[in-house]
Each structure stands twice: as structure tokens, then as C-alpha cells.
Amino acid sequence: MKLKIEKVVFGGDGLALDQGQVIFVPFTIENEVVSAEITSRHKKFSRARVLEVIKKSSERRTPPCPYFGICGGCQLQHMSYEEQVRVKEAQLKELFPIVLPIVKAPKTLYYRKKISPCHEQGLLGFKGIDNCTFVPIDRCLLFSDKLLKEIPHFKEEGPFLIDSLSIEVSSKAFCQNFPEQSLNLYHYIKSLVAKENPVIITDLYCGVGITSLLNAPLAEKVFGIELSNEAIRLAKRNALKNGIENVFFKAQKAENAVISGDLVLINPPRTGADTRVLQNILHSKARTIIYTSCNPSTLQRDIKRLEGFTLDSCKPFDMFPQTSHVEVVTVLRR
């Protein structure tokens, strides 16, 4: 069948319509015309694969990775980088009324600090686009230009500097995967915190303590909450080695944390914040929330649940070039 791609949706698929039926077509670009065949039918939509691109977008390019289209790690390598960021901004504008310009990535390949390949029969690889098939690979262009068998899958580079802070990280504790872009993200969050002039900050899902420690000079006290014992161990170590005494870290579930003070920093996993976390924030004295998310859909859901708070701004950061993912920092006030 012949299809025109109306837009690219979250997840990276092109969306086409055929007699009112929604059809998702991977590896396509807005306004392209393609010949495609249906691969699966569902009640409200179908999925298809491209047989031929009849009318190519000027933004189409040859993917740099030979595994693109087979490996499930990347979704947008067939687009120019300018088109990738345009698509991400457009998608966010469908969810949020206020979207500031995206912060582009300082580099678009070899940016990841760690990867988690699969192992089968002595081979390294990733899950395929069907999220099931094992795809053996020699290298990942998002991680390194070297053969994977020659390097560890976590680049343990020791402590790294963020401004004047020396921060220790670990493969066993979450930290942002793109160091150069992470620095831009942390600086932006710090600039937002400075404008709020907080007395006490609660930092939920604080990881190894980077945002807590960076913002410690801006408040009387900071309370960092994280479930991972390893992350909290490193957070306390980072506070001690940097001589920061007004930050207090605790290993516990975010939903059990006491929300102290007037500003909440929150950076939950892709599934979003637990309902009890949001309820605790609503019942606290917090007047400002700075919510960082790698999943705009669950972010939108959580904002709706935070009744009484109003979205003030939404700033995207391209932390994941070549993929459909995007990091977003939002400010909510009441």
C-alpha cells in the first residue's frame, strides 16, 4: 500500500492514515511517501514496514551504523540531526503548553558512558527491533568507536569534576549517561534553584547526590532521598570529600520520604513518580517543584496529578541523540 507519513510520534515511528486507520511505520520521516506492507493489525492501529521510499525527505540520510534497523537501540539514525531535534520539540509541544528551545547535544555519536549488552552463546549484542530477537554486534557507535570486546561496558574513569565538585560514580548506581550534556542539564537546574531562593530542598531520587551537592550553597539544608544503598553510600562519600555539611542523605523509598522545605527536586525513573510521592508533595509546604524526566508521557501524567501546581516552563535536553528519547526539565509552582 502507498502511505504518506503525517508526523513522527513518540517512540520514533512515522504515523500514516489509511481510510481512517492509524498505521505506524518505523524509519520514516514526516511528509515522506512510502510503499509499505502491514506486519500486524490491532483494534485501533496497525503496524507496517517500508518496502520503498517513493518520496524521500530532504532530511533523510544514510545511517552511520550498519546495525540500524535491526538492533533496537536507535530509532532516528535515518534523519539528519536537525530533523531529530525538530521532531522532539514538536512532540513535546503536543503535550505541554510551554516548551523552550531544546538544548542540542554537544556530540551525536560516542557519547554514552555505559551500555548494557546482552550475551548469547559467547556473543555480545542487543535485542532487536522486535524487543525479542538477539542481534550480535561488534561495536555500538553511541558508546565507542572500538570493538566492544576490547573495552569494558562501563567507562570507569574515576571521579569527575562538575564545577568545583569531585564526584565519584559507579556502574551499580544511576547517573546520567552523557557527561557533557549532563553538565548543561545540571547547570540549568542550578540556575532555576537560584531564582527560587529556597531555605530547604528535598531531592527525591537523588542518585549519587549530584543535584543535592551542586545546590547545597543555595539553601540552608538539602535532604537527598534515594532507594539504592550503593548510590547513597557514594552520595555521602561525595559530600564528605567535598566538605559539604548541610546535605543529608537517606536510603529509603521516595514514597516514604518526608517532604521538607519549600522546593522539591525530583528525577524519577521512566515509569514516573509513585502516586504516594505526588500526594506527599501536595500535602507538603513546597511551593516549587523542579521535575526532571526522561519520559514525557509519564511526566505529563504526573503533572496532571499535581493539582494546585501550575506548569511554568518546560526545557528539553537532547541527552539521547539517534534515539527517540529526550530529557525534560519542568518547573511547577503553586
Active site residue 294: yes
What is the DSSP code (8-state) at residue 323?
S
Residue 72 buriedness (CB in 10 A; 0-12 / 13-18 / 19+)? middle
DSSP 238-280: HHHHTT--SEEEEES-GGG----SSEEEE---TT---HHHHHH
In 3D, which of 239, 295, 222, 285 has the Cα closest to residue 10? 295
> Residue 197: left if φ>0, alpha if ψ -120 to 50, beta else—which one?
left
* Residue appearing with cell numbers 576490547: 150
Cα–Cα distance, 176 to 31 (Å, whole number):
34
Name the amino acid, one letter, at 255: E
Alpha-carbon distances of 85 from 2, 103, 270, 312, rounded to whole Å? 27, 9, 20, 22
* Three-state DSSP state, 186: helix
Kindly name the residue from 71, 175, 206, 294 that is annotated as catalytic: 294
Using only C-alpha atoms, the chain has a radius of gyration, in whole angstroms, of 21
Active centre residues (catalytic)? 294
